Structure 1
Amino acid sequence: MTTRFSGAANAHSLIRGMRLTLAVLLASLLNLSAVLASDEGIYLETLNRSTGLMGEAPQEELSKTYLAHDKMKVASSEAEGTDMILDPATGTMTFINHAAKQYYTINIASVKEGMSQPGMEQMRAMVAETKITVQDTGESQKIGDWNCRKYLVSKTGMMGIEQEVWATEEVDFDVNRFTEMMSLSGPDGLLANSPEGAAQQAEMAKIKGYPILTKTKMQMMGSSMESESEVKVIRKEAMPASLFDIPEGYTEREMGKGMGAAMPGPAAHP
Protein backbone atom coordinates (compact mmCIF):
# COMPACT_ATOMS: atom_id res chain seq x y z
CA MET A 1 0.00 0.00 0.00
CA THR A 2 1.00 3.60 -0.38
CA THR A 3 0.87 6.32 2.20
CA ARG A 4 -0.38 9.76 1.26
CA PHE A 5 -0.35 12.85 3.47
CA SER A 6 -2.99 15.34 2.46
CA GLY A 7 -5.37 17.45 4.34
CA ALA A 8 -4.12 19.56 7.18
CA ALA A 9 -4.32 19.32 10.78
CA ASN A 10 -2.53 20.68 13.52
CA ALA A 11 -5.04 22.29 15.83
CA HIS A 12 -4.14 20.13 18.73
CA SER A 13 -6.88 20.40 21.27
CA LEU A 14 -9.52 18.00 20.01
CA ILE A 15 -10.23 17.21 23.65
CA ARG A 16 -9.10 19.20 26.68
CA GLY A 17 -9.19 16.28 29.10
CA MET A 18 -7.13 14.33 26.63
CA ARG A 19 -4.76 17.27 26.30
CA LEU A 20 -2.17 16.04 23.82
CA THR A 21 -3.47 12.60 23.05
CA LEU A 22 -4.85 13.69 19.70
CA ALA A 23 -2.04 16.07 18.87
CA VAL A 24 -0.53 13.67 16.36
CA LEU A 25 -3.82 13.40 14.56
CA LEU A 26 -4.36 17.10 14.16
CA ALA A 27 -0.76 17.98 13.75
CA SER A 28 -0.69 15.95 10.59
CA LEU A 29 -4.33 16.08 9.58
CA LEU A 30 -4.01 12.95 7.58
CA ASN A 31 -6.48 11.79 4.97
CA LEU A 32 -7.06 8.10 5.49
CA SER A 33 -8.52 6.31 2.51
CA ALA A 34 -7.77 2.63 2.57
CA VAL A 35 -8.36 0.99 5.88
CA LEU A 36 -7.83 -2.45 7.34
CA ALA A 37 -11.07 -4.38 7.75
CA SER A 38 -9.69 -7.65 9.13
CA ASP A 39 -8.48 -8.52 12.62
CA GLU A 40 -4.98 -7.45 11.66
CA GLY A 41 -4.51 -3.75 12.21
CA ILE A 42 -1.90 -1.04 12.50
CA TYR A 43 -0.78 0.18 15.91
CA LEU A 44 1.08 3.47 16.44
CA GLU A 45 2.53 5.16 19.50
CA THR A 46 3.15 8.89 19.35
CA LEU A 47 4.85 11.13 21.90
CA ASN A 48 3.16 14.53 21.98
CA ARG A 49 4.62 17.62 23.64
CA SER A 50 3.23 21.15 23.83
CA THR A 51 3.87 24.54 25.43
CA GLY A 52 1.57 27.52 25.66
CA LEU A 53 -1.62 25.48 25.25
CA MET A 54 -4.42 27.53 26.81
CA GLY A 55 -2.01 28.94 29.39
CA GLU A 56 -1.10 25.54 30.75
CA ALA A 57 2.38 24.40 31.72
CA PRO A 58 4.38 22.35 29.19
CA GLN A 59 2.85 18.93 28.77
CA GLU A 60 3.91 15.57 27.44
CA GLU A 61 1.71 12.58 26.73
CA LEU A 62 1.85 9.33 24.82
CA SER A 63 -1.06 8.59 22.51
CA LYS A 64 -1.96 5.21 21.06
CA THR A 65 -3.60 4.88 17.66
CA TYR A 66 -5.38 1.76 16.38
CA LEU A 67 -6.43 1.24 12.73
CA ALA A 68 -8.58 -1.82 11.99
CA HIS A 69 -12.10 -2.90 11.05
CA ASP A 70 -12.48 0.27 8.96
CA LYS A 71 -12.22 2.40 12.10
CA MET A 72 -9.64 4.49 13.89
CA LYS A 73 -9.19 4.86 17.63
CA VAL A 74 -6.90 7.37 19.30
CA ALA A 75 -6.49 6.48 22.96
CA SER A 76 -4.92 8.28 25.87
CA SER A 77 -2.20 6.42 27.74
CA GLU A 78 -3.84 7.59 30.97
CA ALA A 79 -6.34 5.21 32.58
CA GLU A 80 -8.82 8.06 33.16
CA GLY A 81 -8.07 9.90 29.94
CA THR A 82 -10.26 10.40 26.89
CA ASP A 83 -10.41 8.33 23.71
CA MET A 84 -11.75 9.17 20.28
CA ILE A 85 -13.16 6.76 17.69
CA LEU A 86 -13.67 7.71 14.04
CA ASP A 87 -16.08 5.65 11.94
CA PRO A 88 -16.22 6.78 8.30
CA ALA A 89 -18.99 4.28 7.50
CA THR A 90 -21.40 6.14 9.79
CA GLY A 91 -19.73 9.53 9.58
CA THR A 92 -19.41 9.75 13.35
CA MET A 93 -16.81 10.73 15.92
CA THR A 94 -17.24 9.26 19.40
CA PHE A 95 -15.50 10.68 22.46
CA ILE A 96 -15.15 8.42 25.49
CA ASN A 97 -14.47 10.03 28.88
CA HIS A 98 -13.11 7.21 31.07
CA ALA A 99 -12.91 9.36 34.20
CA ALA A 100 -16.65 10.12 34.06
CA LYS A 101 -17.59 6.81 32.36
CA GLN A 102 -19.48 8.80 29.75
CA TYR A 103 -19.39 9.23 25.99
CA TYR A 104 -20.94 11.34 23.29
CA THR A 105 -21.15 10.95 19.54
CA ILE A 106 -20.96 13.63 16.86
CA ASN A 107 -22.50 13.00 13.45
CA ILE A 108 -20.53 15.30 11.21
CA ALA A 109 -23.19 15.60 8.51
CA SER A 110 -25.86 16.43 11.08
CA VAL A 111 -23.69 19.10 12.65
CA LYS A 112 -23.21 20.81 9.30
CA GLU A 113 -26.91 20.53 8.49
CA GLY A 114 -27.76 22.09 11.85
CA MET A 115 -25.82 25.25 11.14
CA SER A 116 -27.68 28.17 9.64
CA GLN A 117 -26.90 28.89 6.01
CA PRO A 118 -25.49 32.37 6.77
CA GLY A 119 -23.28 30.80 9.42
CA MET A 120 -22.06 28.18 6.99
CA GLU A 121 -21.29 30.77 4.34
CA GLN A 122 -19.37 32.92 6.80
CA MET A 123 -17.32 30.00 8.01
CA ARG A 124 -16.72 28.80 4.46
CA ALA A 125 -15.40 32.24 3.52
CA MET A 126 -13.01 32.21 6.49
CA VAL A 127 -11.70 28.75 5.64
CA ALA A 128 -11.34 29.66 1.97
CA GLU A 129 -8.98 32.47 2.98
CA THR A 130 -6.49 29.96 4.37
CA LYS A 131 -3.42 29.82 2.18
CA ILE A 132 -1.11 26.81 2.38
CA THR A 133 2.38 26.48 1.00
CA VAL A 134 4.58 23.38 1.22
CA GLN A 135 8.31 23.46 0.56
CA ASP A 136 10.32 20.30 -0.01
CA THR A 137 13.68 21.18 1.53
CA GLY A 138 15.46 18.16 0.08
CA GLU A 139 16.91 17.43 3.53
CA SER A 140 16.82 13.88 4.82
CA GLN A 141 17.44 12.32 8.21
CA LYS A 142 16.81 9.04 9.98
CA ILE A 143 14.31 9.48 12.79
CA GLY A 144 13.70 6.38 14.86
CA ASP A 145 13.47 3.45 12.47
CA TRP A 146 12.61 5.49 9.39
CA ASN A 147 14.42 7.53 6.77
CA CYS A 148 12.54 10.82 6.55
CA ARG A 149 12.41 13.87 4.30
CA LYS A 150 11.89 17.40 5.62
CA TYR A 151 9.05 19.67 4.48
CA LEU A 152 8.19 23.19 5.61
CA VAL A 153 4.49 24.02 5.77
CA SER A 154 3.02 27.49 6.17
CA LYS A 155 -0.68 28.17 6.73
CA THR A 156 -2.10 31.68 6.92
CA GLY A 157 -5.67 32.85 7.31
CA MET A 158 -7.82 32.17 10.37
CA MET A 159 -4.57 31.55 12.24
CA GLY A 160 -0.90 31.45 11.51
CA ILE A 161 0.71 28.01 11.52
CA GLU A 162 4.30 27.11 10.70
CA GLN A 163 5.23 23.41 10.57
CA GLU A 164 8.34 21.36 10.11
CA VAL A 165 7.27 17.93 8.91
CA TRP A 166 9.59 14.93 8.59
CA ALA A 167 7.78 12.24 6.55
CA THR A 168 8.75 8.74 5.48
CA GLU A 169 7.66 6.59 2.56
CA GLU A 170 8.88 3.42 4.26
CA VAL A 171 5.69 2.54 6.15
CA ASP A 172 3.53 -0.22 4.72
CA PHE A 173 0.01 1.14 5.02
CA ASP A 174 -2.17 3.64 3.24
CA VAL A 175 -3.56 6.52 5.26
CA ASN A 176 -6.21 8.48 3.55
CA ARG A 177 -9.72 8.59 4.94
CA PHE A 178 -10.34 9.07 8.65
CA THR A 179 -9.26 12.62 9.21
CA GLU A 180 -10.79 13.50 5.89
CA MET A 181 -13.94 13.46 8.03
CA MET A 182 -12.56 16.46 9.89
CA SER A 183 -10.71 18.19 7.09
CA LEU A 184 -12.51 21.33 6.05
CA SER A 185 -11.02 21.09 2.58
CA GLY A 186 -11.83 17.40 2.16
CA PRO A 187 -14.59 16.08 -0.13
CA ASP A 188 -17.19 16.36 2.63
CA GLY A 189 -15.83 19.59 4.12
CA LEU A 190 -16.87 23.19 3.79
CA LEU A 191 -14.64 23.68 0.76
CA ALA A 192 -15.64 20.47 -1.02
CA ASN A 193 -15.53 20.75 -4.81
CA SER A 194 -14.27 24.33 -4.58
CA PRO A 195 -11.12 25.78 -6.18
CA GLU A 196 -9.88 26.83 -2.73
CA GLY A 197 -10.32 23.33 -1.30
CA ALA A 198 -8.64 21.74 -4.31
CA ALA A 199 -5.70 24.13 -4.00
CA GLN A 200 -5.25 23.35 -0.32
CA GLN A 201 -5.42 19.60 -0.93
CA ALA A 202 -2.98 19.78 -3.83
CA GLU A 203 -0.46 21.72 -1.80
CA MET A 204 -0.57 19.31 1.15
CA ALA A 205 -0.22 16.39 -1.27
CA LYS A 206 3.33 17.57 -1.92
CA ILE A 207 4.27 15.90 1.36
CA LYS A 208 5.17 12.35 0.42
CA GLY A 209 4.67 9.63 2.98
CA TYR A 210 3.62 9.42 6.60
CA PRO A 211 4.70 12.17 9.05
CA ILE A 212 7.03 10.77 11.71
CA LEU A 213 7.99 14.06 13.34
CA THR A 214 5.93 17.25 13.20
CA LYS A 215 6.98 20.49 14.90
CA THR A 216 4.37 23.23 14.96
CA LYS A 217 4.20 26.88 15.91
CA MET A 218 0.71 28.38 16.01
CA GLN A 219 -0.57 31.93 16.48
CA MET A 220 -4.24 32.39 17.32
CA MET A 221 -6.08 35.33 18.86
CA GLY A 222 -2.91 36.86 20.24
CA SER A 223 -1.61 33.71 21.87
CA SER A 224 1.03 31.29 20.67
CA MET A 225 1.55 27.56 21.05
CA GLU A 226 4.38 25.24 20.15
CA SER A 227 3.98 21.50 19.86
CA GLU A 228 5.87 18.47 18.70
CA SER A 229 4.55 15.03 17.78
CA GLU A 230 6.88 12.12 17.13
CA VAL A 231 5.86 8.62 16.12
CA LYS A 232 7.81 6.09 18.15
CA VAL A 233 6.19 2.79 17.14
CA ILE A 234 4.45 1.48 14.02
CA ARG A 235 3.59 -2.20 13.86
CA LYS A 236 0.98 -4.65 12.65
CA GLU A 237 -0.94 -6.64 15.25
CA ALA A 238 -4.25 -8.41 15.72
CA MET A 239 -7.08 -6.21 16.98
CA PRO A 240 -10.52 -7.45 18.04
CA ALA A 241 -13.53 -5.54 16.78
CA SER A 242 -14.55 -4.96 20.42
CA LEU A 243 -11.59 -2.58 20.76
CA PHE A 244 -13.75 0.01 19.01
CA ASP A 245 -16.87 -0.55 21.15
CA ILE A 246 -18.18 1.69 23.93
CA PRO A 247 -17.20 0.13 27.29
CA GLU A 248 -20.07 -1.54 29.12
CA GLY A 249 -21.77 0.65 31.72
CA TYR A 250 -20.81 3.98 30.13
CA THR A 251 -23.58 6.60 29.82
CA GLU A 252 -24.28 8.56 26.68
CA ARG A 253 -24.41 12.32 27.12
CA GLU A 254 -25.40 15.13 24.82
CA MET A 255 -22.97 17.79 23.70
CA GLY A 256 -22.57 20.48 26.33
CA LYS A 257 -24.23 18.48 29.13
CA GLY A 258 -21.59 17.49 31.60
CA MET A 259 -19.01 16.64 28.96
CA GLY A 260 -18.02 19.99 27.55
CA ALA A 261 -15.52 20.98 30.22
CA ALA A 262 -13.57 17.80 29.70
CA MET A 263 -14.00 17.49 25.98
CA PRO A 264 -14.64 20.53 23.81
CA GLY A 265 -15.49 19.84 20.22
CA PRO A 266 -12.90 19.10 17.58
CA ALA A 267 -10.99 21.76 15.77
CA ALA A 268 -10.14 21.05 12.18
CA HIS A 269 -7.97 22.74 9.59
CA PRO A 270 -7.79 22.44 5.86
Structure 2
Amino acid sequence: PAKDETTEIWFGDDKFAMISTSTSIIVDLKKNVLCMILHSNKTYVESPLPFEFANIIDPQMAQMMAQMMKMTVTVTPNGQTKTIGQWKCSGYDVAINMMMMPMKIAVWATTDVPFDVEKFMKLYTNVIKASLRLDDAAVQEMMKIKGYWIATETNAEIMGAKMHNTTEVTEISKKSPNASAYSVPAGYTKKDKLSMQDMQNR
Protein backbone atom coordinates (compact mmCIF):
# COMPACT_ATOMS: atom_id res chain seq x y z
CA PRO A 1 0.00 0.00 0.00
CA ALA A 2 1.09 3.57 -0.69
CA LYS A 3 2.37 5.63 2.22
CA ASP A 4 3.97 9.02 2.84
CA GLU A 5 6.76 9.51 5.34
CA THR A 6 8.81 12.48 6.53
CA THR A 7 12.51 12.05 7.29
CA GLU A 8 14.61 14.57 9.24
CA ILE A 9 18.34 14.87 8.59
CA TRP A 10 20.60 16.68 11.07
CA PHE A 11 24.23 17.36 10.20
CA GLY A 12 26.98 19.00 12.24
CA ASP A 13 30.79 19.08 12.16
CA ASP A 14 31.26 15.49 13.23
CA LYS A 15 27.73 14.12 13.69
CA PHE A 16 24.90 13.06 11.41
CA ALA A 17 21.39 11.81 12.15
CA MET A 18 18.71 10.54 9.76
CA ILE A 19 15.45 10.15 11.67
CA SER A 20 12.40 8.42 10.20
CA THR A 21 9.36 6.55 11.51
CA SER A 22 10.78 3.03 11.24
CA THR A 23 14.57 3.41 11.36
CA SER A 24 17.04 6.08 12.42
CA ILE A 25 20.77 6.16 11.68
CA ILE A 26 23.28 8.19 13.70
CA VAL A 27 26.94 8.67 12.76
CA ASP A 28 29.41 10.06 15.32
CA LEU A 29 32.91 10.65 13.93
CA LYS A 30 34.36 11.54 17.36
CA LYS A 31 33.26 8.18 18.76
CA ASN A 32 33.92 6.52 15.38
CA VAL A 33 30.58 4.72 15.47
CA LEU A 34 27.39 4.26 13.46
CA CYS A 35 24.20 3.46 15.35
CA MET A 36 21.15 1.96 13.63
CA ILE A 37 17.94 2.37 15.64
CA LEU A 38 14.85 0.23 15.00
CA HIS A 39 11.77 1.98 16.35
CA SER A 40 9.38 -0.94 15.74
CA ASN A 41 10.90 -3.02 18.56
CA LYS A 42 12.84 -0.27 20.38
CA THR A 43 16.28 -1.77 19.78
CA TYR A 44 19.56 -0.57 18.28
CA VAL A 45 22.91 -1.88 17.07
CA GLU A 46 26.29 -0.15 16.89
CA SER A 47 29.16 -0.60 14.45
CA PRO A 48 32.63 0.93 14.22
CA LEU A 49 33.46 3.13 11.22
CA PRO A 50 34.01 2.69 8.36
CA PHE A 51 30.66 0.90 8.38
CA GLU A 52 30.35 -2.66 7.06
CA PHE A 53 26.93 -4.30 7.05
CA ALA A 54 28.47 -7.68 7.91
CA ASN A 55 29.44 -6.27 11.34
CA ILE A 56 25.81 -5.97 12.49
CA ILE A 57 24.35 -9.29 11.29
CA ASP A 58 25.08 -12.93 12.14
CA PRO A 59 28.00 -14.44 10.16
CA GLN A 60 25.70 -17.05 8.59
CA MET A 61 23.26 -14.38 7.44
CA ALA A 62 26.15 -12.20 6.25
CA GLN A 63 27.38 -15.03 4.03
CA MET A 64 23.90 -15.61 2.61
CA MET A 65 23.38 -11.89 1.98
CA ALA A 66 26.79 -11.56 0.31
CA GLN A 67 25.66 -14.12 -2.27
CA MET A 68 22.09 -12.84 -2.67
CA MET A 69 22.77 -9.12 -2.50
CA LYS A 70 25.92 -8.90 -4.64
CA MET A 71 25.32 -5.86 -6.75
CA THR A 72 26.70 -3.60 -9.41
CA VAL A 73 26.01 0.13 -9.44
CA THR A 74 26.34 2.43 -12.44
CA VAL A 75 25.95 6.22 -12.18
CA THR A 76 25.52 8.24 -15.39
CA PRO A 77 25.10 12.04 -15.54
CA ASN A 78 22.18 12.57 -17.93
CA GLY A 79 22.99 16.18 -18.84
CA GLN A 80 19.61 17.47 -17.67
CA THR A 81 19.09 20.38 -15.28
CA LYS A 82 16.01 21.64 -13.51
CA THR A 83 15.02 23.78 -10.55
CA ILE A 84 13.31 21.94 -7.69
CA GLY A 85 12.04 24.27 -4.98
CA GLN A 86 14.77 26.89 -4.73
CA TRP A 87 17.61 24.62 -5.85
CA LYS A 88 19.18 24.32 -9.30
CA CYS A 89 19.79 20.62 -9.80
CA SER A 90 21.68 18.33 -12.18
CA GLY A 91 20.27 14.94 -13.16
CA TYR A 92 21.84 11.51 -12.77
CA ASP A 93 20.61 8.04 -13.74
CA VAL A 94 21.54 5.30 -11.29
CA ALA A 95 21.20 1.60 -12.16
CA ILE A 96 21.55 -0.94 -9.35
CA ASN A 97 21.58 -4.60 -10.39
CA MET A 98 21.44 -7.51 -8.00
CA MET A 99 20.06 -11.01 -8.21
CA MET A 100 16.65 -10.39 -6.69
CA MET A 101 16.01 -6.68 -7.27
CA PRO A 102 16.94 -4.60 -10.32
CA MET A 103 16.54 -0.92 -9.44
CA LYS A 104 16.67 2.36 -11.34
CA ILE A 105 16.97 5.69 -9.52
CA ALA A 106 16.68 9.15 -11.06
CA VAL A 107 18.61 11.57 -8.82
CA TRP A 108 18.51 15.37 -8.88
CA ALA A 109 21.43 16.86 -6.93
CA THR A 110 22.70 20.36 -6.20
CA THR A 111 25.87 21.95 -4.87
CA ASP A 112 23.92 25.13 -4.10
CA VAL A 113 23.40 24.43 -0.38
CA PRO A 114 24.33 26.38 2.79
CA PHE A 115 26.75 23.75 4.10
CA ASP A 116 29.98 21.98 3.15
CA VAL A 117 28.88 19.21 0.77
CA GLU A 118 32.22 17.36 0.99
CA LYS A 119 32.03 17.26 4.79
CA PHE A 120 28.43 16.06 4.54
CA MET A 121 29.32 13.27 2.10
CA LYS A 122 32.12 12.07 4.39
CA LEU A 123 29.43 11.33 6.98
CA TYR A 124 26.79 10.25 4.46
CA THR A 125 28.87 7.51 2.81
CA ASN A 126 28.44 5.39 5.95
CA VAL A 127 24.69 6.05 5.90
CA ILE A 128 24.41 5.02 2.24
CA LYS A 129 26.22 1.77 3.04
CA ALA A 130 23.88 1.11 5.96
CA SER A 131 20.58 2.02 4.29
CA LEU A 132 21.20 0.62 0.79
CA ARG A 133 23.57 -2.18 1.91
CA LEU A 134 26.22 -1.14 -0.59
CA ASP A 135 29.83 -2.32 -0.72
CA ASP A 136 32.82 0.02 -1.09
CA ALA A 137 32.90 -0.20 -4.90
CA ALA A 138 29.20 0.70 -5.11
CA VAL A 139 29.65 3.62 -2.71
CA GLN A 140 32.55 4.95 -4.80
CA GLU A 141 30.32 4.84 -7.87
CA MET A 142 27.57 6.71 -5.97
CA MET A 143 30.09 9.44 -5.16
CA LYS A 144 30.02 10.39 -8.86
CA ILE A 145 26.79 12.22 -7.98
CA LYS A 146 28.01 15.72 -7.24
CA GLY A 147 26.16 17.55 -4.51
CA TYR A 148 23.26 16.99 -2.13
CA TRP A 149 20.35 14.86 -3.32
CA ILE A 150 17.27 17.10 -3.58
CA ALA A 151 14.88 14.65 -5.26
CA THR A 152 14.86 10.98 -6.25
CA GLU A 153 12.53 8.66 -8.11
CA THR A 154 13.11 4.94 -7.62
CA ASN A 155 11.61 2.08 -9.61
CA ALA A 156 12.39 -1.47 -8.55
CA GLU A 157 11.09 -4.99 -8.92
CA ILE A 158 11.25 -7.28 -5.89
CA MET A 159 10.44 -10.91 -6.72
CA GLY A 160 7.89 -9.82 -9.33
CA ALA A 161 6.34 -7.01 -7.27
CA LYS A 162 6.89 -3.49 -8.59
CA MET A 163 7.93 -0.73 -6.19
CA HIS A 164 7.84 3.02 -6.86
CA ASN A 165 9.27 5.55 -4.43
CA THR A 166 9.87 9.30 -4.64
CA THR A 167 11.66 11.65 -2.25
CA GLU A 168 11.93 15.43 -2.26
CA VAL A 169 13.68 17.85 0.10
CA THR A 170 11.27 20.51 1.35
CA GLU A 171 13.55 22.55 3.63
CA ILE A 172 17.24 23.14 4.26
CA SER A 173 18.03 25.51 7.13
CA LYS A 174 20.50 26.17 9.93
CA LYS A 175 18.98 25.28 13.30
CA SER A 176 20.07 24.04 16.69
CA PRO A 177 19.08 20.37 16.98
CA ASN A 178 17.09 18.96 19.87
CA ALA A 179 19.26 17.48 22.59
CA SER A 180 18.01 14.02 21.58
CA ALA A 181 18.74 14.33 17.84
CA TYR A 182 22.08 12.51 18.00
CA SER A 183 21.23 9.98 20.71
CA VAL A 184 19.35 6.72 21.17
CA PRO A 185 15.87 7.26 22.68
CA ALA A 186 15.49 6.36 26.36
CA GLY A 187 14.24 2.83 27.03
CA TYR A 188 15.74 1.28 23.87
CA THR A 189 17.73 -1.97 24.19
CA LYS A 190 21.14 -2.55 22.59
CA LYS A 191 21.55 -5.69 20.46
CA ASP A 192 24.78 -7.27 19.24
CA LYS A 193 23.37 -8.21 15.82
CA LEU A 194 20.29 -7.67 13.66
CA SER A 195 18.00 -10.68 13.17
CA MET A 196 16.32 -11.65 9.90
CA GLN A 197 13.06 -10.26 11.29
CA ASP A 198 14.80 -6.96 12.09
CA MET A 199 15.97 -6.79 8.48
CA GLN A 200 12.45 -7.35 7.17
CA ASN A 201 10.98 -4.71 9.50
CA ARG A 202 13.44 -1.98 8.43
Hey, what does 1:106 align to over in structure 2?
45
- TM-score, length-scaled by structure 1: 0.57
Hey, what does 1:53 align to over in structure 2?
none
Hey, what does 1:224 align to over in structure 2?
162
- Are the equivalent residues in 1 in contact too, given 2:106–2:153 (CA < 8 A)? yes
Hey, what does 2:199 align to over in structure 1?
265
* Structure 1 unmatched runs, 5+: 1-56
Deviation at 1:150, TM superposition (A): 1.1
* Match runs of 1:1-270 below 5 Å: 57-68=1-12, 70-76=14-20, 81-82=21-22, 84-88=24-28, 89-95=31-37, 97=39, 103-108=42-47, 112=55, 115-116=58-59, 120-127=62-69, 129-158=70-99, 159-171=101-113, 172-174=115-117, 175-184=120-129, 191-192=135-136, 197=137, 200-239=138-177, 241-248=179-186, 250-252=187-189, 254=191, 264-265=198-199
Deviation at 1:256, TM superposition (A): 9.6
Residues 232/251 of structure 1: CA separation in 2 closer, same or farther (3 Å cut):
closer
C-alpha separation in 1, matches of 2:15 and 2:200? 18
C-alpha separation in 1, matches of 2:47 and 2:200? 11
What do the CA deviations read for 1:37-88 (whole angstroms, capped 9, x no partner)? xxxxxxxxxxxxxxxxxxxx21112222212363322334xxxx44514134
- Are the equivalent residues in 2 in contact too, given 1:147–1:170 (CA < 8 A)? yes
Hey, what does 1:6 align to over in structure 2?
none
Letter in 2 for 1:112: N
Determine helix, strand or coil for the equivalent of 1:265: helix
- Are the equivalent residues in 2 in contact too, given 1:104–1:255 (CA < 8 A)? no
- TM-score, length-scaled by structure 2: 0.73
Residues 260/253 of structure 1: CA separation in 2 closer, same or farther (3 Å cut):
farther
Determine helix, strand or coil for the equivalent of 1:124: helix
Letter in 2 for 1:265: M
- Are the equivalent residues in 1 in contact too, given 2:56–2:192 (CA < 8 A)? no
What do the CA deviations read for 1:138-169 (whole angstroms, capped 9, x no partner)? 11111001000111111112320011111111
- Are the equivalent residues in 2 in contact too, given 1:68–1:239 (CA < 8 A)? no
What do the CA deviations read for 1:196-253 (whole angstroms, capped 9, x no partner)? x2xx3443222111111100001122211000000010111123544323445x2426
Letter in 1 for 2:116: F
C-alpha separation in 2, matches of 1:137 and 1:212? 16
C-alpha separation in 2, matches of 1:75 and 1:191? 23
- Are the equivalent residues in 1 in contact too, given 2:94–2:107 (CA < 8 A)? yes
- Are the equivalent residues in 2 in contact too, given 1:138–1:150 (CA < 8 A)? yes
Residues 211/114 of structure 1: CA separation in 2 closer, same or farther (3 Å cut):
closer
C-alpha RMSD of the superposition? 3.7
- Are the equivalent residues in 1 in contact too, given 2:44–2:188 (CA < 8 A)? no
Which protein, 1 or 2, shows the higher relative CO under an 8 Å CA cutoff with sep ≥ 6?
1
